[in-house]
Amino acid sequence: AQRVTQPEKLLSVFKGAPVELKCNYSYSGSPELFWYVQYSRQRLQLLLRHISRESIKGFTADLNKGETSFHLKKPFAQEEDSAMYYCALQYNTDKLIFGTGTRLQVFP
Amino acid sequence: DAEITQSPRHKITETGRQVTLACHQTWNHNNMFWYRQDLGHGLRLIHYSYGVQDTNKGEVSDGYSVSRSNTEDLPLTLESAASSQTSVYFCASSFQTSGSGELFFGEGSRLTVL
């Protein structure tokens, strides 16, 4: 069965430090993976998708099929990056399974 | 502007009562979803619909039902509320057959069952 694992519930860093939010998945098919973000008092929204290979707000994520991982990275964290981050796997038309989420706290 | 709205935003009810959470979107999206968000579990899919008169069970559908009589609305009903259903509920929608994985979420409905 498909599964998404985010091992860290909370990640705390200081402004300017590098950030890596871990995501591992289990899926027998060809994975399509996403990162969603929920800022305080805002709606959950798509941050980026692996197929686009894009950088959004300085964040990137590379799909590593060998390690079944899709870690989210940013070289220099900003205070406004503080939010809840969810990794998600698409296993049917727009059906997503989400990880348990990682709360990122960026201290000044 | 087109959007997706949920109501009520906050609801307190008692065990055994029937509760309906409304979800309305004005994007003309065919796909609509209900998730619940709980600490330690993330978001879990309750029910989803790919179009009018289409409804499907998600991974945590027991005790919940949905109906899709038009494109815009997917109300979620708790037939007999239980304390285990205390949660934050999110409705989401997406373009028909997009496969893009981009869901548009509502602001959430916080339900407390006493």
d(C-alpha A24, C-alpha A36), whole Å: 15
Q: Is the pLDDT of residue B94 over 60?
A: yes
Determine, for residues A96 and B50 on separate chains, whether the beta-carbon distance falls below 8 Å.
no
CA distance A43 to chain B (A): 5
Q: Which residue has the tokens 């796997």?
A: A89
pLDDT for res B96? 64
Confirm or reject contact between B34 and chain A (CB < 8 A).
no
Residues near A57 by beta carbon (within 8 Å), at least 6 away in sequence:
A47, A74, A81
pLDDT digits 0-9 by tens, A8-58: 999 999 999 999 999 999 998 888 899 999 999 899 999 998 877 788 899
pLDDT for res B25? 96
